[in-house]
Structure 1
Amino acid sequence: MNELLKRILSALILSILVIVGIIYLPVSAVKIAISLITVLCIYEVFKLLDKKLTGIYSKQVLFVSFLSSISLLFFSFYLSIMIITLYSFFTAVKKYDLNYLSYSIFGFFYGVFFPSSLGLLASIDKNLLFVLFSVVWTGDTLAYFVGKNFGKNKLSPILSPKKTWEGAVGSFLGSVVGGFLAIKFFNFQIYWIIPVVVSAVLLQVGDLFESFIKRQVNVKDSSNLIPGHGGILDRIDSLIFASAVFFMFYELLKSFSIAS
């Protein structure tokens, strides 16, 4: 099958599953599903880290990731932090190596907290997820087609050789337009354009962030879970950065008692 066609079909199927799930599942089920996604993220993150620090991955990290995500989404952020810190400490003590502590905490931080922000958004308003998806999906689509057809100037040759400044500009414009249209469609206040614009920048940073990790261990994809896309992290690396921006913006509005 043509690689582009495989990529489009995979994205289409995943998009339909995600949209249907968000619309029809109760918020608690959506949050549990996101916690299960963090397990996949953690599997990929720790498998990558294991190439740099042998023994950092074990099956226990999958259980810890689910437990810490559930704790974050249903109980307490600090309980999640405590679970991760204690597990990382005991792992480091067994190896008697500080690197295992720092690698482990980083792995959970990246693989649990960022994806779990999607569940936090679902708790606020499911429609915020659709605004977020509009930002990321339009940005990713424009980045791919603009970069492929017009890209000449490399954005970051070391981290991501295929990315260009032209693609980045296309991504930014696509994200802002897609986000603005979603804001209007779902009747959010116009000030939500702020996280849309910030996310339009940071979603590209999120992509480069994951690329940095992969380049450190000399792999192209985080896994081969999704045909045409690589792993789950390859698909949501920019989404989870943008999601954190949306959640922080909501928290900022709430602190000024204007969240809506």
Structure 2
Amino acid sequence: MSKLLVRTISGIILASIAISAVLFLDKNIFKFFIAVLSAVAVWETANLLTKKFEKINPISTAIIGFLASLSILFFNFYLAVLTIFLYGFYEAVKKWDINYLTSIVFSLIYGSFFVSSLGLLVDEDKYLLLILFATVWAGDTFAYFVGKTFGKNKLAPRLSPKKTLEGAFGSILGSLIAGGITAYYFNHLEAIVPTAIASIVMQIGDLFESFLKRQVGVKDSSNLIPGHGGILDRIDALMFASIVFLTFYNFL
């Protein structure tokens, strides 16, 4: 089976699960699963950083990430911050190395805070998540096919050698088309604004994770998803785009 076919099948299954969860799960159950997803994202991030800081414990860090995400989604934002810094301090003092403090805090903020924004967005309106999904997924799809067909100029060769400017423009176009249509369908025309901003910011989210992987010398964040790599490889752009949507609606 070709890699593209495996990637396509995995993508369809994941998309079906995500859409079904948004449409049919109780809001609190959905947010609980977002906390689980946050824990996996924290685990992948911490596991990557063990390549440079081998004494980081990805499992215990993921547990703290789960608790921090639950706090963000159900209790208090500042309790999550306190939990993260207390755990980071505890681990750093044992190693007597400030690098462990910064690495652990980074893992927890990147994994739990960014992913938890998906759960906070459902509090605004669950259909906003479907607009977000359409924006990001169409952007990813257009980037792949436009870049593969027309790509000549490298976007950021040091970070991601295969990404091209043409692919990035294709991604933005795909996001605007799919996000705009979905926003119109769900009667959220104002969502065209965060869709347009997210279509650009999500490019940075993708490169951000690429930078992290290049720093530790790995290709994928894990091998959890056939054809895609890890959870972070699948949602890196989504995490940044979600923050854009959440910020826009909080501002409104």
TM-score, length basis structure 1? 0.96
Q: 1:58 to 1:224 in 2, by over 3 A?
A: closer
Residue aligned with 1:163, SS:
strand
In 2, distance between residues paired with 1:206 and 1:247? 15
Give the structure 1 partner of residue 168 of structure 2.
168
Cα drift, residue 61 of structure 1: 1.0
In 2, distance between residues paired with 1:33 and 1:192? 25
In 2, distance between residues paired with 1:192 and 1:11? 24
Cα drift, residue 59 of structure 1: 2.2
Give the structure 2 partner of residue 145 of structure 1.
145
Give the structure 1 partner of residue 81 of structure 2.
81
Residue aligned with 1:114, SS:
helix
Residue aligned with 1:115, SS:
helix
| Contact residue 44 and residue 58 of structure 2 kept, 8 A | no
In 2, distance between residues paired with 1:192 and 1:7? 29
Deviations along 1:163-202, one digit per CA (max 9) or x if unpaired, are 00000000001001111101100001x3321111110001
Residue aligned with 1:59, SS:
helix
Residue aligned with 2:79, SS:
helix
Give the structure 1 partner of residue 243 of structure 2.
244
Give the structure 2 partner of residue 111 of structure 1.
111
Give the structure 2 partner of residue 41 of structure 1.
41
Give the structure 1 partner of residue 215 of structure 2.
216
Residue aligned with 2:197, SS:
helix
In 1, distance between residues paired with 2:29 and 2:60? 23
Residue aligned with 2:53, SS:
coil
In 2, distance between residues paired with 1:71 and 1:171? 34
Cα drift, residue 124 of structure 1: 1.2
Deviations along 1:111-169, one digit per CA (max 9) or x if unpaired, are 11000000000111100000000100110000000001110110010100000000000
Give the structure 1 partner of residue 136 of structure 2.
136
Give the structure 2 partner of residue 257 of structure 1.
none
Residue aligned with 2:223, SS:
coil
Q: Which amino acid aligns with 1:252?
A: F
In 2, distance between residues paired with 1:4 and 1:183? 29
In 1, distance between residues paired with 2:20 and 2:194? 25
Structure 1 segments unaligned to the other structure (5+ residues): 254-260
Give the structure 2 partner of residue 51 of structure 1.
51
Deviations along 1:6-32, one digit per CA (max 9) or x if unpaired, are 000000011111111111101001100
Give the structure 2 partner of residue 101 of structure 1.
101
In 2, distance between residues paired with 1:7 and 1:57? 30
Residue aligned with 2:129, SS:
helix
Cα drift, residue 224 of structure 1: 0.6
Q: Which amino acid aligns with 1:83?
A: T
In 2, distance between residues paired with 1:230 and 1:63? 22
Q: Which amino acid aligns with 1:236?
A: I
How many aligned positions are there?
252
Aligned CA RMSD, in angstroms, stands at 0.7
Give the structure 2 partner of residue 196 of structure 1.
195
Give the structure 1 partner of residue 66 of structure 2.
66
Cα drift, residue 57 of structure 1: 2.4
Q: Which amino acid aligns with 1:90?
A: Y
Deviations along 1:207-256, one digit per CA (max 9) or x if unpaired, are 00000000001100000110000000000000010000000001111xxx
Cα drift, residue 52 of structure 1: 1.1
Segments of 4+ in structure 1 off by > 4 A?
Answer: none
Is 2:152 the counterpart of 1:155?
A: no
